[in-house]
Structure 1
Amino acid sequence: MRNHHRVINRRRGLAALAAGVTATAAAVALPLLTSGSASAAAAAVSLPPAHAGFDYQLGGAYTPPAGVSVVSRDQGDSPAAGLYNICYINAFQTQEGAEDEWDSDLLLHDSKGQVVEDEDWGEAILDIRTASNRERIAAKVNGWIDQCAAKGFQAVEPDNFDTFDRFPSYLTKANAEAYIKLLSAHAHAKNLAIAQKNTAELSGDHAANGLDFAVAEECADWDECGDYTDAYGNNVIVIEYTDKGMKKACTGWGSRLSVVQRDEYVVPKGTSGYVRKTC
C-alpha cells in the first residue's frame, strides 16, 4: 500500500478561550459506539455541508476567504466565527519533538528498543497494538477532543489513521479500527462529528468505525475519490496539492464535493508559498 502525502502538522498550542459558532448543517442520527461493543445509543451530530466552500488552515489560522463556510484548523487554534469548524488532531502519532509528553510504553519500539518514527515528519508512532494501550492513548487524545468541543468546533479530524498501512511490520488494520472506535465514541458523546482522514481502503468500514464524513488528501490524484463517495456520498472534503490533481478533482468531482487546492505546508494567507485555489 502506498503512503499518502500528508501536510505538515503544527505543534500544539495552549488552549484558547472557547468561541461560539453557528452550525450550518442539519443534525443526523448516528450510532454511538462503546469501547468494546456495538452501537449502544444515538448521538446527534452536525455534518459539514456537502459541496461547500472549504479552507484547510492547519499551518495557521487566518480570516477565511469569501465563500468559505467550512474550515479545518489545528486544535491549538480557535474556530472561525459563524462557520462550520473541523478540529485537527494528530491521533496516531506524536507531534515532532513531543515524545516526552507520552509514557514511554505507549510509543512503538523496534526490536532494538528504539522508538519507531515517521521519518518524513519526525513523529513517533503510538503503540496501539494492545487494548490496554489503546485505552490509555485514547484517554489522552480524547482530552484534546474535549478541548475541541469546549472551543466550539463541530467536528474532529484525527490524522494518521493510515499509520498501520505505513508500518505493517508492527501495526494492523484491526489495531487501527479498534482504536478509532474509541475516538469516535467519545466524539459523538461530545456531539462532534468525526472524519475519516485518508485511508480509502477502510471507507467500507465507516459505519462500524463510527466515522461520519471523509477528509481525503489527493484522492483525485490517486483516483480514490470514488472509494470515499461510495461510503459517504457527497460528504467528502478533497484537498489537492498539485495543479494536476486539482484539475482532476474539479473535472470529476467539483460539482459534488468540497474541493480545494492548498500549498504543501498549508501556510497562512500572506505567507510566502501560500496557495489556495477552488474549482
Structure 2
Amino acid sequence: MNRVGPLLVVAAVLLVVAGCTPSPVPPPSGRWLPRPGVAWQWQLDGRVDPRAEVPVYDIDGFENGEAEVARLHRDGRKVICYINAGAWEDFRPDKDAFPAAVRGRANGWDGERWLDIRRLDVLRPLMERRFDMCRAKGFDAVEPDLLDGYLNDTGFPLRTEHQLAYNRMIARIAHERGLSVGLKNDLPQIRALVDDFDFAVNEECAQYRECALLTPFVEAGKAVFHVEYALTAKEFCPESRRLGLSSMRKNLRLDPWRQPC
C-alpha cells in the first residue's frame, strides 16, 4: 500500500463509455478472465469468512487451505490467492529460503523488507514454489503484491526495466500453471503490462485521482478490483461506475467488512 505522487490523466476518461465494455478475447489456455464490474471480496485478515454474496474472493494463500478454497468453489465463487511477490516477510513459513542478500529496506509493514527484484535467478524458484502452493490448493488466480518496488526506497537501485522484467516473469509463472494473475498497483506501467496480466488490483486510485489510468484493463475486457480506505462510497462510487471498476470500501486491515459500490 505504498504511495507515489498523484498521476493526473484526465484525457483517459474519455476513452471509457459508461456502461459499455468490450468483449474480451479468451486467454489461449482457457484460464479464468474476470470481466469488468464483477463484484468481489478481499479478506487478508485470517481465515476466510465465506458469507459475502459475491462471485470472487481474494484471500491469503498461506492462511487458507484447500478446504477453504473448495468451500468457496462449492458456493460458485472464483478464488484469488494473495501472495507477496515484492517483499520478504518474516512471518511466512518459507522465510529462510530468501537469502539475506535479496532483502532490502523495511517497507513500512511489520516484518517486511523489499526484495531485490533484479535477482531473477534467486527469486524465480521461490515464487514458483509459492505459485505451486496456490495451484495445489485449487486457487483460480494469483494476486502478487508489491509489484512496484522501483517506485520506492528499497535499498536497491531498481529501474523501470527491472520492474517490467520481474512483473512479466511473475505473469509467466502464473500462466505456466494455468492460473490467472493480477497486476497490483504499478500504475505507470499499465499500458506496457496490460497484455501480460488478466486483471488489475488497485488501492486508493480515487484518493489520489488516478483511476483513469486503469482504463486499459477495462478496454481489454479485464476486471479492475479496486478498494478505497479513507474516502466514503459516495465520494468514489460514481466515478468507479463510470469507469467500469469493481470498487468497494474496506478497512485497512482487510477484515471481512466491505461496503461495495
Same fold (TM over 0.5): yes
Please tell me the residue identity of whatever aligns with 2:85.
A
| 8 Å contact from structure 1 (residues 195, 211) kept in 2 | yes
Alignment-derived partner of residue 102 in structure 2: 106
How far apart, CA to CA, are the structure 2 residues paired with 1:218 and 1:231? Answer: 17
Q: Give the counterpart of 1:257 among 229, 245, 252.
A: 245
Alignment-derived partner of residue 240 in structure 1: 228
Alignment-derived partner of residue 83 in structure 1: 77
How far apart, CA to CA, are the structure 2 residues paired with 1:89 and 1:224? Answer: 24
Q: What is the deviation of 1:97?
A: 4.8
* Alignment partner of 1:57 is 2:43: yes
Gaps of 5+ in 2: 5-22
| 8 Å contact from structure 1 (residues 75, 89) kept in 2 | yes
Alignment-derived partner of residue 171 in structure 1: 158
How far apart, CA to CA, are the structure 2 residues paired with 1:207 and 1:65? Answer: 29
When the two structures are superposed, what TM-score results if normalisation uses the length of structure 1?
0.74
Task: Give the structure with the larger helix fraction.
Answer: 2
Alignment-derived partner of residue 126 in structure 1: 115
CA RMSD of aligned residues (A): 2.3
Please tell me the residue identity of whatever aligns with 1:278.
P
Report SS of the residue matched to 1:119: coil
How far apart, CA to CA, are the structure 2 residues paired with 1:258 and 1:236? Answer: 6
Report SS of the residue matched to 1:221: coil
How far apart, CA to CA, are the structure 1 residues paired with 2:241 and 2:49? Answer: 24
Report SS of the residue matched to 2:29: strand
* Alignment partner of 1:214 is 2:203: no
Q: What is the deviation of 1:28?
A: 4.8
How far apart, CA to CA, are the structure 2 residues paired with 1:162 and 1:218? Answer: 15
Q: How many residues align?
A: 227
How far apart, CA to CA, are the structure 1 residues paired with 2:204 and 2:234? Answer: 11
How far apart, CA to CA, are the structure 1 residues paired with 2:177 and 2:24? Answer: 14
Alignment-derived partner of residue 139 in structure 2: 153
| 8 Å contact from structure 1 (residues 28, 46) kept in 2 | no
Gaps of 5+ in 1: 5-25, 31-41, 109-115, 269-274
Kindly provide the CA deviation profile for residues 234-255 of structure 1, in whole angstroms up to 9, marking residues without a partner as x.
Answer: 52111111233x3333111236
Kindly provide the CA deviation profile for residues 195-251 of structure 1, in whole angstroms up to 9, marking residues without a partner as x.
Answer: 01011111111146x11211111111112121112344352111111233x333311
Report SS of the residue matched to 2:225: strand
How far apart, CA to CA, are the structure 1 residues paired with 2:26 and 2:157? Answer: 36
1:187–1:28 CA distance, 2 compared to 1 (3 A) = farther
| 8 Å contact from structure 2 (residues 103, 116) kept in 1 | yes
